[in-house]
Each structure stands twice: as C-alpha cells, then as structure tokens.
Amino acid sequence: MTSTLCSPPASRQASPEPKARSARRTRAACRGCGGKRLKTILDFGPLPLANAFRTAEQIGKPESRYPLVLAFCSGCSLVQLTETIPARTLFERYLYFSSTSDTVLDASRELVERTIRERGLTAASHVLEIASNDGYLLQFYAARGIPALGIEPARNIARKARERGIPTLGRFFGWELAARLARDGFHADVIHANNVLAHAEDVHGFLAGIKMLLKPDGAAVIEVPYVKTLVERLEFDTIYHEHIFYFSLASLERLAAAQGMEIAGTEPLAIHGGSLRVTLSHAGGMRRDISEQVSILKREEERLGVASFDFYAPFAGRVESAKVQLKEFLRDRKARGARIAAYGASAKGTTLLNFCGIGSDILDFAVDRSPAKQGLFTPGTSLRISAPEKLLEAMPDYVLLLSWNFAGEILAQQEEYRKRGGKFILPIPAPQVI
C-alpha cells in the first residue's frame, strides 16, 4: 500500500504549480473536480481586496482592484471564485484579530468545553488548530492543561498568539507542512479549522494534510460559510477575494470522500451570518457516531436543489435589486440632512460599500473596535477608521452596521449611543432601521 505521507493528495484536478503562485490568475476549471463546467452566479466587477487597509500616506495613490466573480460547478456543485489572489498577498499581514469579538470568544469557549467532554480529552491528548489567529480558541484548551498547537501564517497575529503562551507555527497549512509534522511524529486527537477551508486554493491538499495528521479515531472540526444560508438571506457581502469557496454539505462530502474521509456530524450555526460546522473522520472510523443531522441536512439540500444551478440562478437579480434599494435608502436620508457613519471595518463591509457605490459622499466616517484598524482608511472608499467612542462624540443620526453578523454584541455595546437617539441601519437583505 502506498503511504499517504509520500503520495500527493487524491484529486481529479491537474495541478500546475509554483510559477503561477506569485501572481493572480483566472480559473476556467473547477478546483474541486477539474471539470470545465463553471457557470457564473454573480459578477461584482473589479473590487479592492477586503483587508487592504490604507495609511494616510497612501490616500490618493492608485489602489489595486481585482475581478470578483462567483461561479457554480455543474460537475460537482462546488461554488467558488474564478479569480485566485496569492495567499501571501492576502494573509501574511492580517488585521483581523478574533479575540476582539466577545461573540467569537464565547462560542469558542463553549466549543472547547464540549469537545473536551465529548472526546474525553486529557493532558495526554493533542489539539491542532489551522488558522489559529491570536490564540482565541486554543487558549481555552491551554487553560485546561491540554497541549495545543496553532498554525497561523499572518506573522503579526502569530506573534500575538505566542505572547499569549500558545505555541504557534507561522506557516501556511497544506499537504507539505502536514507531511513534515507527521515525519516529526505529530498527530492530533482533534483538529480545528474555523473559517479557513474556504481560503485554501488547494482544497484537496488541505484536506489530505488534515487526514495525515488526524489520529485513527480523531475528529476534525471544521467551520465554513454555508452557501445555502448565503443565498437564502442574500448575504452577498460575505463574498470577497479571501473566500475562494462557498460550501454546501453536498460539495463538502465529495471533497472529503476524495481524501478518504467522511462527514460524521454536522451543525448549522448562526455565527458570521450562517455557517456550517462539520466533523470529519477517517472513512469508517466513526461510522457508529454518524449524526442523524447529516441525513436531515442532506435531505433539506436535495429538496431545495442546492446541488443544481437553478438554486443560484435568481441570485444576481436579487442582489442588484438590494444594491439599488440600499443606496437609494441612504441617499434619501442624506438628502434630508442626516449624518451617517459606518460601524465595522470588516471584510464584508469592503464588498458592500464598493459594490454598492457607497462612499464618503454618503458616509462621514467609520468606526471599528480593533485597535489595529484604527487610524487606517477603508479599502476603496477611503473612510478614516476611528474607535467606537467617536459615535458618542460626533453623534451621527444613523450608523450603517457593516459587521451585521455581530449585531447583538455591537448594539449592546452601543447602548448609550442609542439612548441618545442614535439609530443603526442593518443593510441586508433590505435596509432596516433599529
């Protein structure tokens, strides 16, 4: 039998390598099955990178924009972008710190406690997190005395995690790194990968790396944006260059099977506007534990036709209508003399503002809780980002809530602003004043 440690991941896709990695490129073939049956769902036109924040010195200088086209593969139902931006351009310096969100921290603590209990983890166990950010999740394992290793390519963020006492490799994860760790004898009882599989251009290599490092009875707990929710709730602003893939359960199942793994459990989540948490195991390794929820969700996707292009065909028209409605809504209030700010220098905010043509003619400024973003300017729209305290200082009439996925948390934090008469606007699926 050929060792997986020496063999590249199984994939029907040809994989031309290194030279193309240094430049963006447009795909004509599906990254999942290699077929050339991609159909366009939505073409945003050229947009700036979601986290390409600018300094005051850069304002007025040319700003790079890249095509953003969402497509559906008729061969394997995988929804994906046609454009690939080099990972190093996107992630080597990153300004999203997971620990700035109380919602994320609370969900992470709950997940860790549940995983420890259900998997019977002890000080003899090993946990790995891919794209571990600033240690937001692994800190809870460390607090329970369970050895944890993080992998985080953004150097500035990996440094924060290490300062927190979380061992962290500043590397991109893939088959090659997994093979190196396996040769060193590292294998994990649990592997976490939250909101990173969608970023991995070589999705087969990524999953093969997980399989290689997962103990025979281990579990990989993976969270991804759920394409069914995205379409149903019209969450078009969650589409940006970093998110190459938008998964359904059906497409995930095919990708896992190609690497000798299966989905043992699944759980729809409300976080980030609608995510899907799946538990992967070695094929046959946890069959007795296959969750009934997997069958329920599969039947639901089949009923809705999520694996068919017909499910996605109306999306572009619905998005165009929402775009016009939101811009007219804001312009109307601006014409009446209202002052409008934005909350959340988020990736989804970059897509929404630039695609809808909402800039400094409508918005006066932006605020964000992350100190790393304060003092910088938003990509494409050049709004100066301040601390949230500016809302009380300036008291704009409205605040466009770009980080609507954390609406509950933000509204609670801004109780004083709201008591003084300030109002928030939720932008999608239709503008709503709170």
pLDDT at 292: 84
pLDDT at 68: 97
pLDDT at 271: 66
Distance (Å, whole) CA 427 – CA 340: 13
Distance (Å, whole) CA 277 – CA 197: 12
Beta bridge partners, 401, equal 343
The stretch 334-362 carries a mean pLDDT of 96
pLDDT band of residue 146 (cuts 50, 70, 90) is: very high
> Is residue 4 pLDDT above 70, yes or no?
no
Give the CA count within 13 Å in the CB-facing half-sphere of 411: 13
CATH 3.30.360.10 fits 315-433, yes or no: no
Specify the DSSP element, H or E, that contains 109. Answer: helix 102-119
pLDDT band of residue 10 (cuts 50, 70, 90) is: low
The arrangement of strands across the sheet holding 275-282 comes to: 168-169, 148-151, 127-130, 188-194, 214-225, 275-282, 261-269
Average pLDDT, the chain: 90
Distance (Å, whole) CA 374 – CA 361: 21
Query: What pTM did the predictor assign?
Result: 0.89
pLDDT at 270: 73
> Is residue 388 pLDDT above 80, yes or no?
yes
CATH architecture for the domain at 90-311:
3-Layer(aba) Sandwich (3.40)
> Is residue 232 pLDDT above 50, yes or no?
yes
pLDDT at 372: 87
pLDDT band of residue 23 (cuts 50, 70, 90) is: low
Distance (Å, whole) CA 36 – CA 10: 19
Sketch the domain layout of the chain as residue ranges. 90-311, 315-433
The stretch 116-141 carries a mean pLDDT of 96
pLDDT at 17: 32
Distance (Å, whole) CA 63 – CA 91: 18
Per-residue pLDDT of 153-174, as tens digits, reads 988 889 999 999 999 999 999 9
Q: Are the C-beta atoms of residues 38 and 71 closer than 8 Å to each other?
A: yes
> Is residue 99 pLDDT above 90, yes or no?
no
DSSP notation for 231-299? HHTT-GGG--TT--EEB-HHHHHHHHHHTTEEEEEEEEE-GGGSEEEEEEEETTTTGGG--HHHHHHHH
Query: Which residues, 6+ apart, have CB-to-CB distance to 68 below 8 Å?
Result: 43, 44, 45, 46, 47, 81, 83, 239, 240, 241, 351
pLDDT band of residue 92 (cuts 50, 70, 90) is: low
Per-residue pLDDT of 276-288, as tens digits, reads 999 999 997 654 4
Per-residue pLDDT of 291-339, as tens digits, reads 788 999 999 999 999 999 999 999 999 999 999 999 999 999 999 999 9
> Is residue 273 pLDDT above 90, yes or no?
no
Residue 44: C-alpha distances to residues 323, 339, 354 (Å): 11, 28, 9
Query: Which residues, 6+ apart, have CB-to-CB distance to 368 below 8 Å?
Result: 343, 344, 345, 346, 374, 385, 387, 388
The stretch 11-16 carries a mean pLDDT of 38
Q: What percent of the chain has pLDDT over 90?
A: 80
